[in-house]
Amino acid sequence: MSAVNPPRLALWLLMHLGPAYRREALAGDLVEDFRQGHSHAWFWRQVLNAICSGVSSSLRRHGGAGQMGAAVEQTGLAHHSREYRSLLLFLILMCGFRSAWADWVYVPTGSMNPTILEGDRLLVDKHVYGLRVPFSLVHLTAGEDPARGDIIIFDSPRDGTSLVKRLIAVPGDSVAMNGEQLIVNGALARYAAGDESELRTLLKATQGHEPIVLRESGVLPEHDILLIPNRRQGGLLGPVTVPPGMYFVLGDNRDNSADSRYIGFVPRRNIVGRATLVLVSLNRDRYFLPRSGRLFSSLY
């Protein structure tokens, strides 16, 4: 999963409060860098740094305290300061809350089909694995340890892109895959026919591959996975032992997911939070109308 559009609120703040001499150029540079794979946290840090830089530059241009007072009256800076101060404080607090406590994320890809669909907006509990310094990966508290079966949001160890996957193995676990069969600590996952009605919720392009839904259990809490016969991953993976401080993740769409088979283990500090439910789901096959039955639906 990767958010493809930068936060509109951040761009609005930058265009109104950023350095006056290069607002448009700076906004364009940040948007381009964001679309290359940088995370929301990185984007917000750059925006806030730019705003602080713009305010500092304005103060320096007006010299000392006495001169600044006169300059502020002439330029209307005091008026704008009073007008935006409360709003800016509210926005900073709200963004800090979203960064460190809870947030919602948009899912543009199908790597977690059929559990999570393209167009889902997920509620993410960010403090469950430990409270973090806003806009950073620095933890203030330990929190719970991520557990097998959790659906986690994390920054890719390869390029920093925000991803959503299912946690399969924790530090010290042995994990392997024999074709499509998952093996954790020597125990083989069990498979049964899944809920075929879930196939109707998939995008038409995915349905065209005639996928199969299976119910996976035994080594993880029961959940459905998706297999695509003409893309089936073959061969043997592992067994490998998950190093300390690392985690092994897979997408529920096993044949169409860039997960630990390709990006490697996920460091503990890269895990941002646990996805808990679908707030709303917009179907791009139907002009982005909401999907029925997915409003505030649990992921577990």
Residues forming the active site = 111, 165
**Spatial distance between the Cα atoms of 28 and 126, rounded to a whole number of angstroms:** 29
**Spatial distance between the Cα atoms of 105 and 121, rounded to a whole number of angstroms:** 5
**Spatial distance between the Cα atoms of 26 and 115, rounded to a whole number of angstroms:** 38
**Spatial distance between the Cα atoms of 212 and 233, rounded to a whole number of angstroms:** 14
* Token code pair at residue 144: 């719970």
Contacts of 267 (CB under 8 A, 6+ apart): 157, 245, 246, 247
Helix (H) or strand (E) holding 89: helix 77-100
Phi-psi region of 106 (alpha: psi -120 to 50; beta: other; left: phi over 0): beta
Tokens 């061969």 -> residue: 235
Contacts of 193 (CB under 8 A, 6+ apart): 213, 214, 215
Judged on CB neighbours under 10 Å (0-12, 13-18, 19+), 253 is buried
Task: Give the N- to C-terminal CA distance of the chain in Å, as an integer.
Answer: 19
In the DSSP assignment, the letter for residue 190 is E
